Each structure stands twice: as structure tokens, then as C-alpha cells.
């Protein structure tokens, strides 16, 4: 059995992990932490039948790391780096769901997250946790940087084009996310009256902190066919609980038939258990993926070499907790689909 600790179990991603791992045949949940509900029980925070004790994070890291093989860290950005360092120092594997280890350059992290990186020595060994791109590295890793939700939808949709050298100039990523993407903490924009019957963009253009993550990973995919490109990213808040839909607009440098584009994506994802490649000119929707660990991708070629790619995921599953469990399955050599839909 894989002995698991979850740090930050009472956020949306933490609770999704509990739900998934409770049905995982190879997992034993050893402990859960919660700063806001320490000393309480999980069943008092969420309407669920699980009465697990909620520990303070400091107590779990100081006294109970010897009880686990891996820790999932569902902590806020900047709060995760010190905890990850303690986990790794104890010889325990870490799957971090924050942004603290996704970027290679500590200076870039500080610029976008307004916080100095105190564990920069771990950045070089952190593996970006997209199994569809880095499966072998994930299998050998002791530290996984679980990708962001928006970047997962965008990177998976564009990676085959990047590898083929087909990303040039400006690439427009128009993305919409359910309200759970903002986390469980209180903020005005996610209040019911603000979000319901509304639809609003935010941090548009080149302002959102997920932007460098997208460009770094797509640039890495394009190394064999380098070309200059820039992502223009416009996220929007959808008045739904969960799900992300990204619509990507790519001006291709040469004319490709729909069949050629479909073949390019089939070569990349034909054997991937969680990529649902749709038929030509079929568009991805939230209903293709919400409640699952899948990413649905649709290709819609237009006139004048314009390609529109649609991509959908569940932001709490393939965009967070489901992907984290997929990574754990790879790390332990289990079928990737174990406990996942």
C-alpha cells in the first residue's frame, strides 16, 4: 500500500484528493491537515461520511512524516515551498499542487508571484507533472510540480503544434473557468451574487500569472523546431461550479489539411488514456470532461491558415487533484487510470 498524507485537505483540491484516494485500491490515507480547521474532523467541514482528524500542518511535518510514502500539498502559493523542502528532506516524495515549483527560474517566480523563492535549489529537480509529456521523468521523480488548471488545458491543446514548429507569432488563448478555480477562500468576485448570471474576464492579455508557465512548457516542447511565439491569455469567470474551456486561435505558418492536423494530434495522443481527441470540426465542451480526469480536444481549421483548437478539462480533476493522482500512479508503476475516470 502507498501511505499518503494530504496537506491542506479542506480546500476544494484537497477534498477532491480525499474522494479519489478513498477509492484507490493501493492507497492508505495516513493523515490530513488543515490550518483553518485543525483539531476538527473532515465530516464537520464537508458533508461526507469520513471522520478523519484534521492536524495542524506543523505537527504532521514534525511528527508524522515517517508514516507516509508521499505527501500531496494543497497549500497556497508561497506557503508550499518550505513544507515541500521538509518532506523531501525526510526522504518522502512530494506532489505539490501549488505554483511554487512549476517555473524553472526563481527570478521569474518572484516576478509573477511577488514572493522570493526560498527553496530555489529544488527547482532544477522538480518534474512538471504532465504525464502526457514527461511520463518517464515523472516515474523517476521525488518532487512533482503539478501543473496549473488553465495551463493544462492550453498546453495539452497546443503541444503537438509546438513540437511541429507550428506555433508562430501571437497565439490567443481565450479561457473560461468555473468558480471553484478561485479556491475556497472568500473573495468578492466569487460571491454568488457577483458570479451568478454574470460572465467576466480578468487579468487579460499578458497579466495572468499562469502565462509564464504556459510559455515555458510550450517553448520546451518546441526545442526541436524552435520558433518565436507569444501567448495572449484572456481568462474569464464562468457562473458554473467547475470546468475549464479554452479556445485557442493559431495562425499556422503553412497550409495543412484537416486530416493532416488530425493525424498530428493522433500521433501525439492516440494512446493516451485521458486525452479525448474529437472528430474534425467537433468542438470540446464542459460536458465532455466535467467529473472526469480527461482533456477533450477539438480541431477546427479555418480559411487563411487559421486553426481554432478547443480544449476542456475539469479544473479540480485533470486541472488539479485527478492529475496529481495520475502522477502518483505513474511514480509507483500503477495503471494510470487507477481510481480515475
Burial class (CB in 10 A: 0-12, 13-18, 19+), 142: middle
Q: Over pLDDT 70: what percentage of the chain? A: 97
| DSSP 8-state class, residue 56 | -
pLDDT at 172: 98
338 occurs within a structural domain: no
> Is 182's pLDDT higher than 80?
no
The CATH code of the domain that includes 217 is 3.30.360.10
Using CA atoms of 21, 24, 27, 30 in order, give the dihedral in degrees to the nearest 10. Answer: 30
341 occurs within a structural domain: no
Average pLDDT, the chain: 95
Say if residue 133 is in the same domain as residue 156. Answer: no
Enumerate residues 6+ apart whose C-beta is below 8 A from 124.
104
Say if residue 195 is in the same domain as residue 92. Answer: no
Say if residue 275 is in the same domain as residue 294. Answer: yes
Using CA atoms of 248, 253, 256, 260 in order, give the dihedral in degrees to the nearest 10. Answer: -70
264 occurs within a structural domain: yes
Burial class (CB in 10 A: 0-12, 13-18, 19+), 165: middle
> Is 191's pLDDT higher than 80?
no
Say if residue 106 is in the same domain as residue 84. Answer: yes
The CATH code of the domain that includes 141 is 3.40.50.720
Stated pTM of the model: 0.95
pLDDT at 185: 64
Contact 246, 178 (CB under 8 A): no
Say if residue 166 is in the same domain as residue 261. Answer: yes
16 occurs within a structural domain: yes
More confident residue, 98 or 198: 98
> Is 187's pLDDT higher than 90?
no
Say if residue 325 is in the same domain as residue 305. Answer: no
pLDDT tens-place string over residues 207-261? 999 999 999 999 999 977 667 899 999 999 999 999 999 999 999 999 999 999 9
173 occurs within a structural domain: yes
Say if residue 191 is in the same domain as residue 216. Answer: yes
Say if residue 176 is in the same domain as residue 233. Answer: yes
- Number of structural domains (the chain) is 2
Give the domain range for residue 17: 2-146+320-331
Q: How far apart are CA 329 and CA 341, in angstroms?
A: 13
Say if residue 204 is in the same domain as residue 235. Answer: yes
Confidence of residue 192 (pLDDT cuts 50, 70, 90): confident
339 occurs within a structural domain: no
Say if residue 170 is in the same domain as residue 26. Answer: no
> Is 118's pLDDT higher than 80?
yes
Mind telling me the catalytic residues? 149
53 occurs within a structural domain: yes
| H/E run at residue 60 | helix 57-63
pLDDT tens-place string over residues 143-171? 999 999 999 999 999 999 999 999 999 99
Say if residue 306 is in the same domain as residue 324. Answer: no
Say if residue 44 is in the same domain as residue 129. Answer: yes
pLDDT at 56: 97
pLDDT at 184: 62
31 occurs within a structural domain: yes
Amino acid at each position: 500500500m502507498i501511505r499518503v498524507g494530504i496537506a491542506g485537505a479542506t480546500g476544494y483540491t484537497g477534498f477532491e484528493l480525499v474522494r479519489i484516494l478513498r477509492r484507490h485500491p493501493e492507497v492508505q490515507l495516513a493523515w490530513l491537515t488543515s490550518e483553518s480547521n485543525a483539531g476538527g474532523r473532515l465530516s464537520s467541514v464537508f458533508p461526507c461520511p469520513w471522520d478523519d482528524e484534521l492536524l495542524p500542518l506543523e505537527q504532521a511535518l514534525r511528527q508524522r512524516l515517517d508514516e507516509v510514502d508521499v505527501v500531496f500539498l494543497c497549500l497556497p502559493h508561497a506557503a508550499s515551498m518550505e513544507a515541500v523542502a521538509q518532506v523531501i528532506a525526510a526522504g518522502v516524495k512530494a506532489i505539490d499542487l501549488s505554483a511554487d515549483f512549476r517555473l524553472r527560474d526563481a527570478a521569474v517566480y518572484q516576478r509573477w508571484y511577488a514572493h522570493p523563492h526560498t527553496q530555489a535549489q529544488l527547482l532544477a529537480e522538480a518534474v512538471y507533472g504532465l504525464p502526457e509529456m514527461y511520463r518517464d521523468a515523472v516515474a523517476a521523480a521525488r518532487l512533482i510540480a503539478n501543473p496549473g488548471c488553465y495551463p493544462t488545458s492550453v498546453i495539452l491543446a497546443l503541444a503537438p503544434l509546438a513540437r511541429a514548429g507550428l506555433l508562430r507569432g501571437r497565439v490567443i488563448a481565450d479561457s473560461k473557468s468555473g468558480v471553484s478555480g478561485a479556491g475556497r477562500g472568500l473573495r468578492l468576485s466569487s460571491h454568488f451574487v457577483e458570479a451568478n448570471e454574470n460572465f467576466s474576464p480578468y487579468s487579460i492579455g499578458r497579466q495572468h500569472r499562469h502565462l509564464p508557465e504556459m510559455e515555458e512548457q510550450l517553448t520546451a516542447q518546441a526545442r526541436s523546431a524552435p520558433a518565436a511565439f507569444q501567448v495572449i491569455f484572456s481568462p474569464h469567470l464562468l457562473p458554473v461550479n467547475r470546468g475549464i474551456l479554452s479556445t485557442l486561435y493559431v495562425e499556422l505558418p503553412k497550409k495543412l489539411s484537416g486530416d493532416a492536423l488530425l493525424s498530428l494530434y493522433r500521433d501525439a495522443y492516440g494512446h493516451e488514456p485521458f486525452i479525448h481527441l474529437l472528430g474534425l470540426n467537433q468542438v470540446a465542451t464542459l460536458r465532455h470532461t466535467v467529473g472526469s480526469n480527461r482533456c477533450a480536444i477539438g480541431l477546427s481549421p479555418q480559411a487563411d491558415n487559421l486553426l481554432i483548437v478547443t480544449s476542456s478539462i475539469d479544473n479540480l480533476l485533470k486541472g488539479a487533484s485527478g492529475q496529481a493522482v495520475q502522477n502518483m500512479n505513474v511514480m509507483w508503476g500503477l495503471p494510470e487510470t487507477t481510481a480515475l475516470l
